[in-house]
Amino acid sequence: MNPKHIAQDYLLYVDGVSVSFDGFKALNSLSLLVKPGEMRAIIGPNGAGKTTMMDVITGKTRPDSGTVVFNQTVDLTKHDEATIANLGIGRKFQKPTVIEPLTVFENLELALAGKRGVFAALTHRLNADEQARIDEILELIRLTDQRDNQSGALSHGQKQWLEIGMLLISEPKLLLVDEPAAGMTDEETMRTAELLKEINKTRTVVVVEHDMDFIRALNTKVTVLHEGRVLAEGSLDTVQQNQQVIDVYLGR
């Protein structure tokens, strides 16, 4: 595979990717093409392969075959998770990993220090640009008034937003978000859709979610996965009218 042959148009180019676990095909010739600046929603029933797809993109799982190219030149199948994160792919897992005894601000400070580690984060004095960057993110994730409060006291939704803020600190080109609305109130769910739309003004976003109200609020192109491959793609209305999609969701 020569990445130079990959179409210039895509930030993320996944083609013909297969992954087997003990002979079971979790991904079966999966293709996903995402343009720079796009927001893509991924839906699909349990076991469709959504998590495995994210694992392949982020280097957690190696595909048996297929092409995974980032930013037109980088073959992601050749890199480990840490390298891929540094290349500009941020992944938000379902479960928040904020450090609860620390304040909201300290968590963002720690994310900023990144590889320098906790000791460096706690001893390093932020410069004006770094302060401004954190303040900007606090505004975006609507946690400015929680700045000096312990993260452990935040609501579930607020913890998820903080985690997204921590990812944004490292300025990812591509943000992968796994079921952000799970466990959220309706209001938090809608606020999360707004947040992702705001983030999408400057970054490419791929979001996996089951909540259809959330997907509708994103108002973006949807890819439906089933049995490790793409079943349908288009607007939410289009895919919801697709008979194969209806059958899969009704379990026929």
Ligand X SMILES: Nc1ncnc2c1ncn2[C@@H]1O[C@H](COP(=O)(O)OP(=O)(O)OP(=O)(O)O)[C@@H](O)[C@H]1O
Residue numbers at the binding site for ligand X (CB under 6 A):
21, 26, 44, 46-52
C-alpha to C-alpha distance for 154 and 147, rounded to whole angstroms: 11
C-alpha to C-alpha distance for 44 and 101, rounded to whole angstroms: 36
Token code pair at residue 104: 């909201």
Please say whether the beta carbons of 10 and 34 come within 8 A. Answer: yes
Q: CB nearer to ligand X: give 47 or 234.
A: 47
C-alpha to C-alpha distance for 184 and 98, rounded to whole angstroms: 17
Shortest distance (Å) from residue 195 CB to ligand X? 22
Q: CB nearer to ligand X: give 30 or 76.
A: 30
Shortest distance (Å) from residue 131 CB to ligand X? 38
For 23-42, give the DSSP string. TEEEEEEEEEEE-TT-EEEE
Amino acid identity of 125?
R
Dihedral angle sign, alpha carbons of residues 5, 9, 11, 13 = negative
Shortest distance (Å) from residue 60 CB to ligand X? 10
Shortest distance (Å) from residue 234 CB to ligand X? 19
Residue 112's H or E segment, with its range, is helix 104-113
Residue with tokens 């004095």: 125
Q: CB nearer to ligand X: give 50 or 203.
A: 50
Shortest distance (Å) from residue 180 CB to ligand X? 13
Q: CB nearer to ligand X: give 143 or 225.
A: 225
Q: CB nearer to ligand X: give 49 or 96.
A: 49
